[in-house]
Amino acid sequence: MKIACGLCSATLALLISTLVSAQPADQRPKMAEDVFKNIQVLKGIPVNQFMDTMGFFSAALGLNCTGCHVAESLQDLDKFAEDPPRKRTARRMIIMVQGMNKANFGGRRALTCYTCHRGTQVPEVIPSLMEQYTVPPEDPDRIEIVPDGPKEPTAEQILDKYIGALGGAERLSTLTSFIARGTLEGYDTYHVKVPLEIYAKAPNQRKMIYHTQNGDTTTVFDGQRGWLAAVDRPLPLLVLLPGAELDAAKLDADLCFPGGIKRALNQWKTGFPVTTINDEEVTVIQGTGAGGSRFKLYFDAKTGLLTRQVRYTDTPVGMVPTEVDYSDYREVGGVRMPYKIVVTWTDGQSNILFTDVQPNAPIDATQFARPVPAVLKPKGGAQ
């Protein structure tokens, strides 16, 4: 059974905050070797990127943390530094793939772990007749722009239809803030629904906080900078790095006030073949963030509403996708908003359900300040 690495992070939450200190606000991001022990191949990359790399391995091999690390790691973080056979093999495989790319593709990352493993521990070597003679379900996340892809409708037409479906530009301009309350359920909440709040202020400030059994997890984007404070992360306060992380935080904030969606990304492109999500036809366009990261946006062909966002984070071993699905649109102050958001990535999934949204609510500017480092909830405290 495949279990994402995020499941392990929940188990480790009781240990992490006692072993590491918060990341200073204005210093360079801590490198993997500054926080973890016995880092040999993946040195010189930020902690955030290191964790995404672990997620890539999880996706490529269909394993969780203890698939490569010893089982005792879940009770003792020092055990993650031990070198069981599969972990040593992983190091050799990283070096092998890097060598193959250098020798055969000019150093371009044409091959990754996923190229051969495809979600299994042992790559298949015998052709599958079933796969050869059946048509597997299409993964809409994998479709890409093709030379003969559709040129109409244009990206501008698609975005105009989206703005109209939400209520129109005039109504959208009247929404200047909102406070949403609801629940979040995921790996780091032990699959239990916990309280959640989102504070958003135009044009692009957003704060999300949810209250897990072990402590609060807070993500903040103040319009320029971003932070993540959580007890189940390697550091109780992580600075979102320029590039994919900040681009993603900014787009999430921009989508809270989508009247300016055309300016949220640049280099809009079309040309994706027709595809479906949940048996409904969707129209796909692509945009680029200020930090150079790529986003694909999927709009329901009938309603024009945003159905999915897919974004990508680069790691030393390959690209890591994150998928955000939007549904259950309801009218709030004359503007339609999704009441259900599902975020899926290589080491976790979160299901967000809103129960109440207050439009144009007063929000103090301090809500978007750098959060304090996450604090582990005392054992036996309120759940």
Query: What are the tokens at 181?
Result: 């309350």
- d(CA 246, CA 242) in angstroms, rounded, equals 5
Predicted model pTM:
0.89
- d(CA 144, CA 121) in angstroms, rounded, equals 27
At residue 380 the predicted structure's pLDDT band, cuts being 50, 70 and 90, is low
What is the percent of the chain where pLDDT is above 90?
78
Helices (H), 211-341: 244-254, 261-264
- d(CA 134, CA 237) in angstroms, rounded, equals 48
Task: Write down all domains in the chain, each with its CATH number in brackets.
Answer: 6-117 (no CATH), 150-368 (2.50.20.10)
Each residue of 137-148: pLDDT tens digit? 889 999 999 998
Each residue of 248-297: pLDDT tens digit? 999 999 999 999 999 999 999 999 998 999 999 999 999 999 999 999 99
At residue 221 the predicted structure's pLDDT band, cuts being 50, 70 and 90, is very high
277: burial class by Cβ within 10 Å (0-12, 13-18, 19+)? Answer: middle
What is the pLDDT at residue 41?
93
What secondary structure, in 3-state letters, does 3-57 show?
CCCHHHHHHHHHHHCCCCCCCCCCCCCCEHHHHCCCCCCCCCCEHHHHHHHHHHH
121-124 long-range contacts (CB < 8 A, ≥24 apart) are: 121/61, 121/62, 121/63, 121/67
Query: What are the tokens at 201?
Result: 């202020």
What is the pLDDT at residue 327?
98
Q: Which helix (H) or strand (E) holds 169?
A: helix 169-174
Residue 15 in this model has a pLDDT that exceeds 60: no
Residue 361 in this model has a pLDDT that exceeds 80: yes
**210 close to 194: Cβ distance less than 8 angstroms:** yes
- d(CA 109, CA 85) in angstroms, rounded, equals 26
Phi and psi angles of residue 162, each rounded to the nearest 5 degrees, phi first: -60, -45
Query: What are the tokens at 86?
Result: 């599969």
Residue 334 C-alpha from the chain's centroid = 30
Residue 128 in this model has a pLDDT that exceeds 60: yes
- d(CA 263, CA 347) in angstroms, rounded, equals 31
CB atoms within 10 A of CB 95: 11
At residue 27 the predicted structure's pLDDT band, cuts being 50, 70 and 90, is low
CB atoms within 10 A of CB 139: 8
DSSP 261: H
71 vs 221: which has the higher pLDDT: 221
Instruction: Find the mean pLDDT for residues 183-188.
Output: 94
Least confident of 43-47, 76-80, 334-338: 76-80
CB atoms within 10 A of CB 223: 13
Strand (E) positions, the chain?
A: 177-186, 194-201, 205-211, 216-221, 226-229, 238-239, 266-269, 275-277, 280-288, 294-300, 306-315, 318-332, 335-345, 348-359
- d(CA 72, CA 308) in angstroms, rounded, equals 38
